[in-house]
Amino acid sequence: MNLAPPTPAARAVLLDALGTLIGLEQPAPHLRAELAARGIHVTAARAAAAMRAEMAHYRAEHHRGGTPEGLVALRRECAGLMAAALGPPAARLDAAQLQEVLLASLHFFAYPEVPGVLRHLRAAGRRLVICSNWDLSLYEVLAATGLDVLVDGVVVSAVEGIAKPDPGLLHRALRLAGVPAAEAVHVGDSVAADVRGAHAAGVRPVLVRRSANEVGSADEDGRAPAHVPVIADLEGLLRLVVDG
């Protein structure tokens, strides 16, 4: 892995959310458990297929979840697609119950090292702004994981109406951070969204390559350019922007 410290020194760190700060436990086992609690039993393969259908639709349409009304409609659609993939067993649940099952199957968590790293970065004087392709619910997830109080700002694609790799989202994060692009790094787990988006915005990218089994970003190519630093978790960021 290339761990050469970026230069000049970074005064701000822009941070992706899913796969970088926050993980999502594999949802299919939780879906099976939620259905079983309601007397509905499906195979592991059927549950996995249902969650794949739901997540594919969400990733394609998450930009519509930037308002409460839009998020409600998007969740309704996602639950419907999940139900269609589950087949006849799901017919026993109405729309509200399907959404309840879907949301209860999504278990987000902060990676263990993340809170300590964020505190270290802030103590070292770095401005921290989350810059994520997500819907309005990211604010709730950050509050639930305790990360909301450890950063200086949050920029959400669905709220802003623009998503990475479009550099506009990072430009808005830079304005929140109050630093020029040359004095920031952007950390994320997607080559397609994070590395390319950072390059387009004139921000130095750092790629996170975690090895656990949780859900991360969908990335079409997944190949890190040779000049981009790659870290196994957020601890590696300290060597790049503080210790280095």
pLDDT band at 224 (very low <50, low <70, confident <90, very high): confident
Mean pLDDT of the residues in the chain: 91
Contact in structure between 113 and 22 (CB atoms under 8 Å):
no
Give the Cα separation of 2 and 4 in Å (integer): 6
Q: Residue 217's pLDDT band (boundaries 50, 70, 90)?
A: low
186: DSSP letter: E
| Distance from C-alpha of 238 to C-alpha of 244, rounded to nearest angstrom | 8
A 10 A CB-CB count for 243 gives 10
The answer to whether the beta carbons of residues 126 and 151 sit under 8 Å apart is no
Separation between Cα atoms, residue 198 and residue 193, nearest integer Å: 8
Q: 3-state SS of 3-42?
A: CCCCCCCCCEEEECCECCCEEECCHHHHHHHHHHCCCCCC
Q: Is the pLDDT of residue 60 over 50?
A: yes
pLDDT in tens, 19-35: 999 999 999 999 999 99
192 touches 220 (CB < 8 A): yes
Q: Which helix (H) or strand (E) holds 116?
A: helix 114-123
Predicted local confidence at residue 5, as pLDDT = 45
Tokens for 116? 């300590």
**How confident is the model over 97-132, as pLDDT tens digits?**
999 999 999 999 999 999 999 999 999 999 999 999
Confidence of residue 223 (pLDDT cuts 50, 70, 90): confident
Q: CA angle, 200 as apex, 127 and 236 as ends, to 5°?
A: 45
Dihedral sign (CA 36, 39, 44, 49) = negative
CB 177 within 8 A of CB 153: yes
pLDDT over 80 (residue 141): yes
